[in-house]
Amino acid sequence: MNKKKIRNYQIFSVVFTFILGTLLHFTYEWSGENNIVAIFSSINESTWEHLKLLFFPMALTTIIGYFYIGKDIPNFLCSKTVGIIVSMILMVIFFYTYTGILGKNIPFIDIASFFIFTIIGEFLSYILIINKFKCNNTIAIIILLLILICFIIFTYFTPNIGIFKDPITHTYGIAKKQLTR
């Protein structure tokens, strides 16, 4: 596979994730708090809900990319999956580290970190693809499906754990948010 074509697709993936991820921050509210839209949109300001802004656009570009260039790249799906997971993990670690040090979050830093970790994840995917990283695409698909299932379940049945807590309303997920109204 042509490295330039892969690189260009990865750049598209970054830009697409920037745009769609930003929009997904607002789509739940714009939809009139539609329960279906809640699955892939941020429903509150919790860290968990903000991971949707990375996961869904990056997963979508993985699916699109598979049909565009990935069929010819044996490690495409698993390389993209590693990029998604690393982006999400780094975003969580960074958020809790900097807010732990400062004692508060700063929206500009949160937004900048979304862009930075999108770039890191897509760059890592690119490096893995061109270096022919050996991995199992079936396991990658299972992992992506498990993450998707977690987003669906935890949107409606949210554990009372800090990562799920909206720091503004002090509620958890959609069901508990609606119960507190």
Domain extent at residue 174: 3-179
Rounded to an integer, the average pLDDT of 39-58 is 95
Answer yes or no: is pLDDT of 181 > 80: no
The 10 Å CB-count burial string (b at 16+, else e) for 55-76 is bbbbbebbeebeeebbeebbbb
Q: Count Cβ atoms below 10 Å from residue 177 Cβ, excluding itself.
A: 17
Report the pLDDT value the prediction gives residue 174, as an integer from 0 to 100. Answer: 81
Quick one: DSSP state of residue 72?
G
Number of residues in the chain: 181
Of residues 180 and 92, more confidently modeled? 92
CA neighbor of 89 nearest in space, from 119, 51, 39, 115: 51
Q: Which residues pair with 155 in a beta bridge?
A: none
Average pLDDT over residues 132-159: 93
Closest CA to 13 of 79, 73, 80: 80
Compute the mean pLDDT over every residue in the chain, rounded to the nearest whole number. Answer: 92
How many structural domains compose the chain? 1
Q: How far apart are CA 117 and CA 82, in angstroms?
A: 13
Residue holding tokens 């002090």?
170
Q: How confident is the model at residue 176 (pLDDT cuts 50, 70, 90)?
A: very low
> Sorting pLDDT into bands at 50, 70 and 90, what band is 131?
very high
**pLDDT above 90 (res 82):** yes
Of 5-14, 74-83, 165-174, which gets the smallest average pLDDT?
165-174
Q: Is the pLDDT of residue 177 over 50?
A: no
Q: How far apart are CA 164 and CA 42, in angstroms?
A: 11
Cα separations in angstroms, 110 against 97, 134, 178: 12, 33, 26
Mean pLDDT on 143-147: 97
Confidence of residue 178 (pLDDT cuts 50, 70, 90): very low
